[in-house]
């Protein structure tokens, strides 16, 4: 509880610095702005121009952490002049990064690697924003308490990354896909399709991401969440290396506007912290800005979305391990090459 209170205090301190207006006890005395990182008083540079920054967000959990920054920006309180847009297809985001119509974007980590392979040096990863969001669910017909309980079973899984991740976890637990466990990623390739099938009783065991897990349980209260696949991953690999979501910047924009990147990272961290610590209010921001339509579902899902803010060497180390593992399972998922350290934007100490 103490840590939560401290986190909320720090978050609201930053929101003051970003321009949130509160009523003072003595309106004749203006509030003192504070440094976002230290809380020390600072004198705002009112003449510093805001940098026009186009930001594209993928809807769903990858975009959740951006919601409160979008809300602050809509009220004119952000440090940069952001223009936000929300996309449902990651390929549209990568295309926009390539053609220069967007400066910063939140998207899956494997999409960042594939883009780097397609156009080396075009982007830099600024931060990891989401760790694992996958869970194994089952109907009342099944009792699953461990990976071993999946031996001889059929598990339905969305295509691409969820299948690759689950396959790795199976192999590390001595379950050979196709021999010891059947992984069906074609019958219901899209998460929404699989969620509907599970809730309707058409399948008994499924791997789903949040917020599809929450939606499925709302539709069928007999469903159970049996395994947190992030926890299972952490048993097989370096804990915290299941890095599924990130935010990237066009390298050209970063080189031209380093001060805008510093400001963005400060604001983005505060936004993620606010979403994690205040899911009820953040869910309203998520719905208001089109990241996910159902605020009540988003509020329930946020605690299970593993939102985070990892930068610098920690970000690079965890992503390198994730990319190495993913490359070993499905090389094309990361552009047939493990990215080097030049993919990562690391601020000098």
**Distance between CA atoms of residues 59 and 211, nearest Å:** 11
In the block, residue with structure tokens 């099938």 = 197
Q: Give pLDDT, residue 347.
A: 77
How wide is the angle at C-alpha 336 spanned by C-alphas 330 and 339, nearest 5°? Answer: 110
* Mean pLDDT calculated for residue range 11-27: 38
* Mean pLDDT calculated for residue range 23-37: 35
- pLDDT above 50: residue 119: yes
Q: Please give the residue that has the higher pLDDT: either 255 or 17.
A: 255
Average pLDDT for the chain: 87
Q: Please give the residue that has the higher pLDDT: either 222 or 32.
A: 222
DSSP letters, 186-224, are STT-SHHHHHHHHHTTS-SEEEEETTHHHHHHHH-TT-E
The CA–CA distances, whole Å, from 71 to 54, 59, 126, 225, 248 equal: 15, 15, 21, 32, 20
**Distance between CA atoms of residues 285 and 291, nearest Å:** 9
CATH topology (fold) of 2-131+242-343? D-Maltodextrin-Binding Protein; domain 2 (3.40.190)
**Distance between CA atoms of residues 208 and 229, nearest Å:** 10
In the chain, beta strands by DSSP E: 52-58, 81-87, 104-108, 123-130, 134-138, 154-156, 182-184, 205-209, 224-228, 245-250, 307-310
- pLDDT above 80: residue 348: no
Token representation of residue 215: 């939606």
Q: Give pLDDT, residue 204.
A: 96
**Distance between CA atoms of residues 13 and 8, nearest Å:** 8
Nearest to 148, CA basis, from 232, 242, 238: 232
Q: Give pLDDT, residue 231.
A: 96
- pLDDT above 80: residue 255: yes
Token representation of residue 299: 């509020």
Class of domain 134-236: alpha beta
Q: What are phi and psi of 163, to 5 degrees?
A: -65, -45
1 band by pLDDT with thresholds 50, 70 and 90: very low
Q: Give pLDDT, residue 316.
A: 96
Q: Give pLDDT, residue 2.
A: 41
- pLDDT above 60: residue 139: yes
Domain ranges of the chain: 2-131+242-343, 134-236
How wide is the angle at C-alpha 312 spanned by C-alphas 342 and 66, nearest 5°? Answer: 105
- pLDDT above 80: residue 26: no
Are 2-131+242-343 and 134-236 the same fold in CATH? Answer: yes
Report the share of the chain in percent with pLDDT over 90: 83
DSSP letters, 172-189, are HTT--BTTTBEEE-STT-
Whether this model's pTM surpasses 0.75: yes
pLDDT tens sequence across 176-232: 999 999 999 999 999 999 999 999 999 999 999 999 999 999 999 999 999 999 999
Q: Give pLDDT, residue 5.
A: 39
* Mean pLDDT calculated for residue range 154-165: 95
Residues 138/205, Cβ–Cβ less than 8 Å: yes
The CA–CA distances, whole Å, from 190 to 94, 159, 208, 213 equal: 20, 7, 10, 13
CB burial of residue 147 (10 Å; 0-12, 13-18, 19+): buried
273 band by pLDDT with thresholds 50, 70 and 90: very high
* Mean pLDDT calculated for residue range 19-47: 36
Q: Give pLDDT, residue 18.
A: 41
pLDDT tens sequence across 313-332: 999 999 999 999 999 999 99
Strand order in the sheet with 154-156: 182-184, 154-156, 205-209, 134-138, 224-228
Q: What are phi and psi of 107, to 5 degrees?
A: -160, 170
pLDDT tens sequence across 70-103: 999 999 999 999 999 999 899 999 999 999 999 9
């Amino acid at each position: 509880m103490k840590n939560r209170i401290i986190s909320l205090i720090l978050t609201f301190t930053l929101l003051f610095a970003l321009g949130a207006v509160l009523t003072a006890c003595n309106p004749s005395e203006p509030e003192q702005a504070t440094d976002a990182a230290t809380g020390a008083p600072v004198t705002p540079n009112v003449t510093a121009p805001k940098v026009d920054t186009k930001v594209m967000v993928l809807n769903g959990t990858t975009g959740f952490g951006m919601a409160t920054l979008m809300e602050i920006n809509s009220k004119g309180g952000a440090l940069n002049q952001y223009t936000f847009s929300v996309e449902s297809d990651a390929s549209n985001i990568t295309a926009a990064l390539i053609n220069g119509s967007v400066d910063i974007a939140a998207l899956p980590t494997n999409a960042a690697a594939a883009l780097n392979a397609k156009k080396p040096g075009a982007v830099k990863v600024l931060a990891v924003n989401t760790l694992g969001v996958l869970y194994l669910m089952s109907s009342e017909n099944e009792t699953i308490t461990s990976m071993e309980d999946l031996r001889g079973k059929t598990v339905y899984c969305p295509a691409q990354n969820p299948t690759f991740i689950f396959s790795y976890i199976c192999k590390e637990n001595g379950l050979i896909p196709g021999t010891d466990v059947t992984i069906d990623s074609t019958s219901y390739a899209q998460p929404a399709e699989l969620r509907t099938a599970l809730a309707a009783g058409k399948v008994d065991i499924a791997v789903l991401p949040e917020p599809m897990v929450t939606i499925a349980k709302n539709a069928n209260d007999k469903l159970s969440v049996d395994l947190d696949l992030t926890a299972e991953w952490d048993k097989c690999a370096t804990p915290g290396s299941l890095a599924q979501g990130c935010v990237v910047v066009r390298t050209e924009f970063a080189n031209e506007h380093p001060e805008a990147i510093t400001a963005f990272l400060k604001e983005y961290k505060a936004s993620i912290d606010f979403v994690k610590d205040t899911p009820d209010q953040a869910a309203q921001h998520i719905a208001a800005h089109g990241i996910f339509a159902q605020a009540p579902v988003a509020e329930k899902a946020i605690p299970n979305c593993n939102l985070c803010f990892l930068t610098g060497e920690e970000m690079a180390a965890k992503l390198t391990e994730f990319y190495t593992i993913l490359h070993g399972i499905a090389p094309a998922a990361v552009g047939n090459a493990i990215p080097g350290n030049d993919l990562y934007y690391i601020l000098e100490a």
